[in-house]
Amino acid sequence: MKGGSPWKRALAFLAKTQEIITMLLAIALPVLVFIQVLLRYVFQMPLMGIEELMLFPIIWLYMIGGANASRTRAHIECGILTLYIKRGRSRALFNIIRITISFVVSCWLTYWAYWYFTYSLRSWKLSPLLRYPMFFAEMMVFIGLVLMTFYTIIELVEVYRKSFDTFKEPKQEVL
């Protein structure tokens, strides 16, 4: 970890932080479910509000999972078309269009998530039973989409670089 540019070290740190948070949340959720099942069915003493409490780690896990999928490029994409596109330049053009649309949609969703984030901060809604501020769950929608947009920008730069390199190569004839 000592080597590498500050940019690569920052990306590695962000990735490691996301992985740790994902792991902790993935452990916390089954533990909460186990506690609820144990209290409700074994001891006949259900803990009121545990389902409400689980809402927070569920939203966090979902949004960080989306950011992780964006980072590792394991998200859903329209890869079926690449099977039919044989030429390098056509594929490069397709990739430019694909990542540009992804970037525009990601920015649009992040814009609306920011609006929702500020609304949530202003309204400071409380959960019905435990009276926890819902802001702490709702803010993760914005944070997750910011991370997804960030990773989309990284992919956009890489795709543009590779695609423009493809356009610089001499044209090859298809037989």
Q: Is the pLDDT of residue 6 over 90?
A: yes
Q: Is the pLDDT of residue 21 over 90?
A: yes
51 or 2, which is more confident? Answer: 51
- pLDDT given for residue 174 in this prediction: 47
Average pLDDT over residues 55-72: 94
> 70: how many CB neighbours lie within 10 A of its CB?
22
Q: How high is the mean pLDDT of the chain?
A: 90
Average pLDDT over residues 65-75: 91
Instruction: Express each pLDDT in 121-149 by its tens digit.
Output: 999 999 999 999 999 999 999 999 999 99
Instruction: Decide: 18 and 71 in contact? Cβ < 8 Å.
Output: yes
Q: What is the pTM (predicted TM-score) of this model? A: 0.86
In the numeric block, the tokens 């730069």 are attached to 157
Task: Return the C-alpha torsion angle 76, 77, 78, 84, nearest 10.
Answer: -110
Separation between Cα atoms, residue 88 and residue 54, nearest integer Å: 48
Measured CA distances, 143 to 85, 101, 157 (Å): 36, 21, 21
Q: Is the pLDDT of residue 172 over 80?
A: no
- pLDDT given for residue 122 in this prediction: 96
Rounded to 5°, angle at Cα 11 from 61 and 97 = 80
pLDDT bin (cut points 50, 70, 90) of residue 84 is confident
- pLDDT given for residue 166 in this prediction: 79
90 or 81, which is more confident? Answer: 90
